[in-house]
Amino acid sequence: MSAEIGETTGVVREARFTSALILTVFWVLPIALLIMSAFKTPIEFSSTSTLALPQSFHLFDNIARAWAKGMASGFVNSAIYGVVASVISVILAAMAAYGIVRLRIPQGMFWFLLIYSGTIFPFQMYLIPLFNLYLDTGLYDTRIGIIAFYVAITIPFCMFVMRGFFLTVSWQVQEAAALDGANSWQTFWRIMMPMARAPLILLILIQFTWIWNDLLFGLVLTKSESVRPIMVALAGMQGVYGASDGPSVIAATLVGSAPTLILFLALQRYFVRGLTLGMGER
């Protein structure tokens, strides 16, 4: 009986390994083909098979051409939008969640549901009203307008997560701070925010990634090269240079995907800790 169980376990383990290997190949193969294509010259890219190995090293030349074709401004813009908007939205969301949970403001649940209700509607529902509003207020095609939108659109989810964290913090922490003479503002900045470091970094990482990868609103709310984000710049390059200079477009795509990957690798320990919403830090 034990031999049959061991044999069955071995078969299951082998099937899992085979399935994981097949999935890995399906995930890695497209990335490998993109990297290979990014090394090719435009002539080599158009005259050889996608599976053919590059005959020379032209990656940096392709990146330089992509950088000169409008990728540089998009890269810088998205970095500004991602960093500024994600940090502001996380701080404001933490303040709102702290006020609702820890200060027990009147009708706290109502305010929470009101703010969070913005996430239940599809983006396309308010796209045209938002566009008209930006035209009327002069925020269209401005960096301030883009940052303001990204802050507003990311606050509800951040507040939802931070509310969950503050609910896990013992009230004894706040009472001890009050006994030491700390007011609500000091308690928030000196005690609660340091305790919430993991979920705060997690939220900044998530929101930065979403802002960096956004194409829809960047395409609708911008028109000039000096304001448009990286994804809009890449889409424009694909339309203009996709047929004549494929390697530079592919190289730009690889470079454009690097920041979020680097951030995740650098902050992955906070990512894992943040998923617990600080429950281990009480």
- Indicate if the pLDDT at residue 2 is higher than 70: no
Say how many CA atoms lie within 13 Å of 218 toward its Cβ: 24
| Chain segment 157-185, per-residue pLDDT in tens | 999 999 989 988 888 888 888 888 888 89
Q: What are phi and psi of 238, to 5 degrees?
A: -60, -40
CA 219 to chain centre: 17
Average pLDDT, the chain: 86
Task: Check pLDDT > 70 for residue 190.
Answer: yes
Whether residue 226 has pLDDT greater than 70 = yes
Count CB-CB contacts under 10 A for residue 192.
23
- pLDDT confidence band for 26 (50 / 70 / 90): confident
Q: pLDDT-derived band of residue 241, with 50, 70 and 90 as boundaries?
A: low
Alpha helices in the chain (DSSP H): 2-38, 42-47, 59-66, 72-101, 108-116, 127-137, 143-168, 171-179, 184-187, 193-195, 197-213, 216-221, 230-241, 246-266, 268-274
The two three-digit tokens of residue 122, written as one number: 């599809």
First to last CA, the chain: 48
* pLDDT for res 200: 93
Q: Residue 120's pLDDT is what?
A: 81
What's the average model confidence in pLDDT over 253-260? 90
Alpha carbons within 13 angstroms on the beta-carbon side of residue 20 total: 6
* pLDDT of the residue at 135: 95
Q: Is 40 helix (H, G, I), strand (E, B) or coil?
A: coil
Residues 6+ apart with CB under 8 A from 41: 56, 58, 247
pLDDT band, residue 282 (cuts 50/70/90) = very low
CA dihedral 131, 137, 142, 145 (to 10 degrees): -70
Q: What percent of the chain lies above the pLDDT cut of 70?
A: 91
- Structure confidence by residue, pLDDT tens digits, 35-50: 888 888 888 888 877 7
Range 61-281 has CATH code 3.40.800.20: no
Is the pLDDT assigned to residue 102 strictly greater than 80? yes
139 pLDDT above the threshold of 60: yes
Which whole number is the average pLDDT over 212-224?
93
- Give the pLDDT confidence of 63-84 residue by residue, as tens digits: 898 888 888 999 999 999 999 9
Residue 279 confidence (pLDDT): 47
Q: What is the pTM of this model?
A: 0.84
pLDDT beyond 90 at 230: yes
Do residues 140 and 99 make contact, with C-beta atoms less than 8 angstroms apart? no
